[in-house]
């Protein structure tokens, strides 16, 4: 049987133990070994954070903010990588890339390596046509669509290899075909080059620029072979 002095020591020891924080999402206490504060200072169950990230990824709603609706602080890239498993993080990175190219006035040039699906960004500047393929590690020229020609301008390279001047209208059409065949699941307006995504409905796409085009071929809607 414990003495009065030993009982008092036990009470004092219990009082010194830190209390487990309560997760405001699942309303369960978080084990001390599971505590991983976000940079904003809020603490949640790691599984709740992962489910939050997964829900945002499924909804394609980025950037991802803190789970506390009154906070609004964005999760950092290191936090996202920490709380995600490999599969979820790969999906997140893929969607980040897809949403990154949802902008106007940029060409997306597919890597010339056969069967490679990588598409690099290019702003039609021939003085800066270098693209590095992160999939197959090829360095290629966006304008000439060949392995990058160091110390040789695009004009000199085309003249030396008897290649025609770039036809941007043809490039625009080819880009649409590349996007259709890519793994990105995106298409491009053939009028203003805006990238669009169709997840339901018919093949009639009305772009932000007002142009109506066919999702299948990129042609003017109701005037294409489709």
This prediction's pTM = 0.43
Sequence-distant (≥ 6) Cβ neighbours of residue 140 within 8 angstroms = 109, 111, 112, 113, 120, 131, 133, 146, 147, 148
The residue among 128, 132, 162 whose CA lies nearest residue 143 is 128
Picking from 99, 122, 143, the residue at the C-terminal end of a domain is 99
Q: Tell me, yes or no, whether 49 and 78 share the same domain.
A: yes
For residue 123, the enclosing domain spans: 101-214
Q: What token pair was written down for 156?
A: 């000199």
- Considering the domain architecture, whether residues 106 and 185 belong to the same structural domain is answered as yes
| Whether residue 121 sits in one domain with residue 57 | no
Domain count for the chain: 2
- For the stretch 67-117, pLDDT in tens is 998 898 999 989 999 999 999 998 898 877 766 655 445 677 888 898 887
Bigger pLDDT: 61 vs 172: 61
Residue that terminates a domain, selected from 45, 67, 99 = 99
Place of tokens 């506390």: 68
Q: What is the pLDDT of residue 145?
A: 83
- Kindly state whether residues 71 and 120 are assigned to the same domain: no
83 and 143 in one domain? Answer: no
Q: Supply angle C-alpha 213, 131, 166, rounded to 5.
A: 55
Quick: pLDDT tens for 151-168.
898 889 988 988 877 666
Which of the residue ranges 12-16, 71-75, 142-146 has the most confident prediction, judged by mean pLDDT? Answer: 71-75
Greatest Cα pair distance in the chain: 99
Could you tell me which residues are beta bridge partners of residue 74? 65
180 or 226: which leads in pLDDT = 226
> How far apart, in Å, are the Cα atoms of 217 and each of 12, 57, 96, 201, 203?
76, 29, 26, 16, 9
Is the per-residue pLDDT at 195 higher than 90? no
Q: How far apart are CA 136 and CA 140, in angstroms?
A: 11
Higher pLDDT, 85 or 215: 85
The H or E element spanning position 46 is helix 46-58
Q: At a CB cut-off of 8 Å and minimum separation 6, what does 16 contact?
A: none
**CATH, residue 74:** 3.30.40.10
- Separation of alpha carbons 179 and 108, rounded Å: 8
Alpha-carbon gap, residue 59 to 190, rounded angstroms: 27
| 113 and 210 together in one domain | yes
pLDDT band with cut points at 50, 70 and 90 for residue 62: confident
The rounded distance, in Å, linking the Cα atoms of 217 and 61 is 28
| Residue closest to 193 by CA, chosen among 215, 219, 214, 175 | 175
């Amino acid at each position: 049987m414990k003495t009065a002095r030993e009982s008092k020591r036990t009470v004092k020891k219990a009082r010194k133990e830190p209390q487990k924080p309560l997760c405001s999402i699942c309303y369960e206490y978080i084990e001390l070994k599971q505590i991983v504060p976000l940079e904003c200072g809020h603490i949640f169950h790691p599984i709740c954070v992962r489910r939050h990230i997964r829900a945002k990824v499924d909804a394609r709603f980025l950037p991802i903010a803190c789970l506390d609706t009154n906070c609004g602080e964005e999760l950092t890239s290191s936090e996202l990588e920490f709380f995600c498993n490999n599969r979820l993080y790969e999906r997140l990175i893929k969607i980040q890339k897809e949403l990154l190219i949802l902008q106007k006035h940029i060409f997306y040039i597919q890597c010339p390596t056969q069967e490679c699906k990588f598409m690099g960004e290019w702003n039609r500047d021939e003085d800066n046509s270098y693209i590095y393929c992160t999939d197959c590690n090829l360095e290629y020229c966006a304008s000439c669509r060949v392995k990058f020609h160091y110390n040789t301008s695009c004009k000199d390279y085309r003249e030396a290899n008897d290649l025609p001047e770039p036809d941007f209208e043809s490039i625009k059409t080819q880009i649409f075909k590349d996007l259709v065949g890519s793994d990105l699941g995106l298409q491009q307006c053939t009028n203003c080059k805006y990238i669009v995504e169709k997840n339901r409905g018919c093949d009639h796409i009305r772009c932000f620029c007002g142009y109506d085009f066919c999702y299948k071929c990129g042609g003017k809607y109701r005037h294409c072979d489709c």
